[in-house]
Structure 1
Amino acid sequence: MDSHSNSKTPVTLLGLGDMGTALARTWLAAGHPLTVWNRTPRRAEPLVREGARPAATPAEAVASATGPVVLCLLDDASVGETLSGTELNGKDVVNLTTNTPAQAQQRARWAEDRGARFLDGGIMAVPPMIGRPETGGYVFYSGDQQLFERHREVLEVPAGVKFVGEDPGHAALHDVALLSAMTGMFAGITHAFALVDTEKDVDRARFATLLAQWLGAMAGAAQGMAAQLDSGDFTEGVASNLAMMAAANDTLLATAQGQSVDPRLLTPYMRLMSDRVAEGHGDEGLAGTVGLLASA
């Protein structure tokens, strides 16, 4: 059967790395006619055998597009290079390439100057999560909301969708903010394992279960911080204030020293807490430290 002879919205996909390939397979499996291009043509061959139509150049791919043109490339420079020389007038461009908020805003203006409609996306998933809704993966979208609604059905095929604003930079902002929080969490996990790893009789698997449960229980602090930032009252609902936490940091550091563990993953945040206490805000929660970073 010709996969291009159905009523489902066609998709044009530029970029077939691990993520692009995962996206492509979900659209093919859902019956969407799919045109693909990749800098290295051989990466397209398995998808062509599965029903995708190959394009020899980005210009050819974009010219034939009647649905969204999706980009999943290495970086923003790759987007500019790939779309250089293509005719974008009247096209719907969906950029799923990881970038910064400023790059997304600039790319939106760049696309609109060429007559295209633009959406930026931030993928909160790894390739094995694509096409598997039970894993909880999703994509942030921002930019042209009408364009988002027009193509929502197509965009929901690979993963869940969350529209976060008409500012084209907001998808990247949300993406990077969540990844930054993840990085901090991984730092804490690394330090925790370094502490217990000095004791060879600690069951790592059992400890990992305890660690995951504890982090899950503490994740609710995000809601409390949001409420304090909204109200401006950083003492609202505080159970453990900054003065108490800063004092407890001495124990954390002494334990690290006793276990011969370098505390470098913890000390930057500890200094931030101490600075806020030194300013006379020991009765607050952690929300006040946000302003110390935002004013940097």
Structure 2
Amino acid sequence: MGAALARAWLAAGHPVTVWNRTPARAEALAAEGAAVAATAAEAVAASPLVVACLLDDASVGEALEGCDLAGRDLVDLTTGTPAQARARAAWAEARGARFLDGGIMAVPPMVGDPGSGGYVLYSGSAALFEEHRDTLAVPAGARYVGEDPGFAALHDVALLSAMYGMFAGVSHAFALIRREDIAPRDFAPLLVSWLGAMAPAAYRSAERLESGDYTGNVVSTLAMQVAGSATLLRTAEEQGVSPELLTPFLDLMARRLAGGQGDEDLTGVIDLLDLRQDAA
């Protein structure tokens, strides 16, 4: 990912100095016009805008420990948690740097391609973001999500969590049909179309969470959906498919129904996941 980011800035005509913990990996970028720093400190000293994209938060601390960050703008595009981002922001500010955390919603082939739909979420110093907005938007779309340094990571992980939930459903669906005379390539367009049609339900959930009303204009009640879930489990059994990707969510639905919320839609399941609300 770091190499893809550097190539995008180089292609746009920006001067780029790179440093890699494995020096050989920077050689290709040197051939494309990047200056190669021998140390992280040398790379930091080369520009007021410093972008880190490493394995994890610990790697960032290790790489930048001892570097003079005073007066620098540090943008950390390393995947981490909200708490790690907040701690890294405090760490950077204590060293005289402004800080932005970033969550990259793209894979390397999408970087530098304006039509790919990839983007980067940023949070932290609003002044830093505004000053470097155009530069940050070169590799992928730049979306600022707030002054709280942890918000980019939180948005990132929330979106990735939804993605893995979708992958779980896709995996279960393919498992159901794979032993039958149904070509996966023929089934895939139906699957993609159906998921696309269902995705806007997120807007209704958002509205219900903000209003607190989970029962208004409900089309498919929780009671009806719990009753129908037996067919999902029975079909999995008939097809010889483990239901383990489905049962955690179905169990939550049944729990919510047992609490007397059968006239809701599925939004109430979110309340069951909120451990802080339970503690309150």
Q: Would you call these one fold, judging by a TM-score over 0.5?
A: yes
2:247 & 2:231 partners in 1: Cα distance? Answer: 13
Alignment-derived partner of residue 231 in structure 1: 211
**Residue 237 of structure 1: CA displacement?**
2.6
Deviates more, 1:75-84 or 1:46-55: 46-55
Alignment-derived partner of residue 259 in structure 1: 239
Alignment-derived partner of residue 185 in structure 2: 205
Look up the equivalent residue of 1:28 and give its one-letter code.
L
Find the partner of 2:37 among 30, 50, 55.
55
**Residue 50 of structure 1: CA displacement?**
1.0
Look up the equivalent residue of 1:212 and give its one-letter code.
V
Look up the equivalent residue of 1:184 and give its one-letter code.
G
Look up the equivalent residue of 1:51 and give its one-letter code.
G
| Unaligned ranges ≥5, structure 1 | 1-18
1:142 aligns to 2:97 (yes or no): no
1:204 & 1:60 partners in 2: Cα distance? Answer: 52
Look up the equivalent residue of 1:150 and give its one-letter code.
E
> Cα deviations across residues 2-34 of structure 1 (Å, max 9, x unaligned)?
xxxxxxxxxxxxxxxxx0011111100000000
Alignment-derived partner of residue 291 in structure 1: 271
**Residue 64 of structure 1: CA displacement?**
2.2
2:102 & 2:237 partners in 1: Cα distance? Answer: 43
Aligned identity (percent) is: 65
Look up the equivalent residue of 2:268 and give its one-letter code.
G
Find the partner of 1:249 among 229, 232, 237.
229
SS at structure 2 position matched to 1:135: coil
| Unaligned ranges ≥5, structure 2 | none
1:65 aligns to 2:47 (yes or no): yes
Look up the equivalent residue of 1:64 and give its one-letter code.
A
Look up the equivalent residue of 2:244 and give its one-letter code.
R
Find the partner of 2:101 among 120, 125, 134.
120
Find the partner of 2:19 among 33, 37, 43.
37
> Cα deviations across residues 230-261 of structure 1 (Å, max 9, x unaligned)?
00000123110111111111000000000010
Look up the equivalent residue of 1:56 and give its one-letter code.
A
RMSD of aligned alpha carbons: 0.7
> Cα deviations across residues 52-84 of structure 1 (Å, max 9, x unaligned)?
101000011112223x10000000000000000
1:215 aligns to 2:195 (yes or no): yes
1:261 & 1:156 partners in 2: Cα distance? Answer: 45
What TM-score, normalized by structure 2, do the two folds share? 0.97
2:10 & 2:217 partners in 1: Cα distance? Answer: 50
2:167 & 2:19 partners in 1: Cα distance? Answer: 35
1:129 & 1:95 partners in 2: Cα distance? Answer: 19
Look up the equivalent residue of 1:247 and give its one-letter code.
A
